[in-house]
């Protein structure tokens, strides 16, 4: 079976000469459909660069990035934007919600960019909020929600676009441990019940334990790739 995501000898180099930084240095990896993968590594190890390439926010200096067999590094900017819009959902540490918009309006936002009609947008946004346990909170704005609830809105926003992959960058970084574990249980359930592939960057081992597989980066290289004996 063809992997959903594949890096083939991917390098990402910033600067040149004395100032050259090899953020990624000849990385090979594959992620299959339906996997839940955690990425760890110290600051500057290459984990964020990998996520940016997977998310079509950056491209390799050399090597190949394949999404469902398509060589993404060769696509033009518009095609990469379409891939991002139709196949990927993003969840960030800082929630990235519009302060003056309701939960429902925040979740609708990516659907506006897709050109989906208003009635369908609202229906899909309501369904997504229900999936993350926020039915009845549609009209609350972020200031009326706890940090954990705001992150649930952000996950609903990612879900509303019906993505194949959710890219989660330190999704529990701004939450206390109790709410952090609630968010991880939610991501685990979405992976298990909806079949969504999840790729998550974290620096916390107890959070990485929710994933099925752990990738560890060191100095731009993938140094560990192993199954996680974590939460069931």
pLDDT number for residue 230: 55
Task: Give pLDDT, residue 213.
Answer: 97
For 108-149, write each residue's pLDDT tens digit. Answer: 998 998 889 999 999 999 999 999 999 999 999 999 999 999
CATH number of the domain where residue 91 is located = 3.40.50.300
Domain of 216 in residue numbering reads as 5-227
Domain membership of residue 72 (yes or no) is yes
The pTM of this model reads 0.93
Least confident among 16-30, 90-104, 218-232: 218-232
Q: What confidence score (pLDDT) does residue 232 get?
A: 45
In a domain, 14, yes or no: yes
Whether the pLDDT of residue 64 is over 70: the answer is yes
Domain count for the chain, please give it.
1
pLDDT tens-digit map of 154-204: 999 999 999 999 999 999 999 999 999 999 999 999 999 999 999 999 999
Would you list the DSSP string of the chain?
---SEEEEEEEEEES-GGG-EEEEEEEEEEE-TT-EEEEE--TTSSHHHHHHHHTTSS--SEEEEEETTEEGGGS-HHHHHHHHHHHEEEEETT----TTS-HHHHHHHHHHHTT--HHHHHHHHHHHHHHTT-TT-TT--GGGS-HHHHHHHHHHHHHHT--SEEEEESTTTTS-HHHHHHHHHHHHHHHHHH--EEEEE-S-HHHHTTSSEEEEEETTEEEEEEE-----
Residue 10 in any domain: the answer is yes
What pLDDT, on a 0 to 100 scale, did the predictor assign at position 95? Answer: 86
- Given a cut of 50, whether residue 9 has pLDDT beyond it is yes
pLDDT above 90 for 226 = yes
Residue 232 lies in a domain: no
């Amino acid at each position: 079976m063809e992997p959903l995501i594949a890096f083939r000898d991917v390098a990402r180099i910033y600067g040149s000469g004395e100032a050259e930084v090899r953020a990624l240095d000849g990385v090979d990896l594959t992620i299959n459909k339906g996997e839940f993968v955690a990425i760890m590594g110290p600051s500057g190890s290459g984990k964020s660069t990998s996520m940016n390439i997977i998310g079509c926010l950056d491209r390799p200096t050399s090597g190949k990035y394949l999404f469902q067999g398509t060589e993404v590094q060769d696509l033009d900017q518009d095609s990469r934007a379409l891939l991002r819009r139709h196949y990927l959902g993003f969840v960030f540490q800082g929630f990235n919600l519009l302060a003056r918009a309701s939960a429902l309006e925040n979740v609708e936002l990516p659907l506006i960019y897709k050109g989906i009609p208003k009635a369908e947008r609202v229906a899909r946004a309501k369904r997504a909020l229900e999936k993350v346990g926020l039915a009845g909170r549609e009209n609350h704005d972020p200031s009326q929600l706890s940090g954990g609830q705001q992150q649930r809105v952000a996950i609903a926003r990612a879900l509303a676009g019906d993505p194949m992959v959710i890219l989660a960058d330190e999704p529990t970084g701004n939450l206390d441990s109790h709410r952090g574990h609630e968010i991880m249980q939610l991501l685990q359930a979405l992976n298990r019940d909806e079949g969504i592939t999840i790729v998550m960057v974290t620096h916390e081992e107890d959070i990485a334990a929710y994933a099925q597989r752990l990738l560890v980066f060191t100095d731009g290289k993938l140094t560990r790739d192993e199954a996680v004996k974590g939460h069931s």
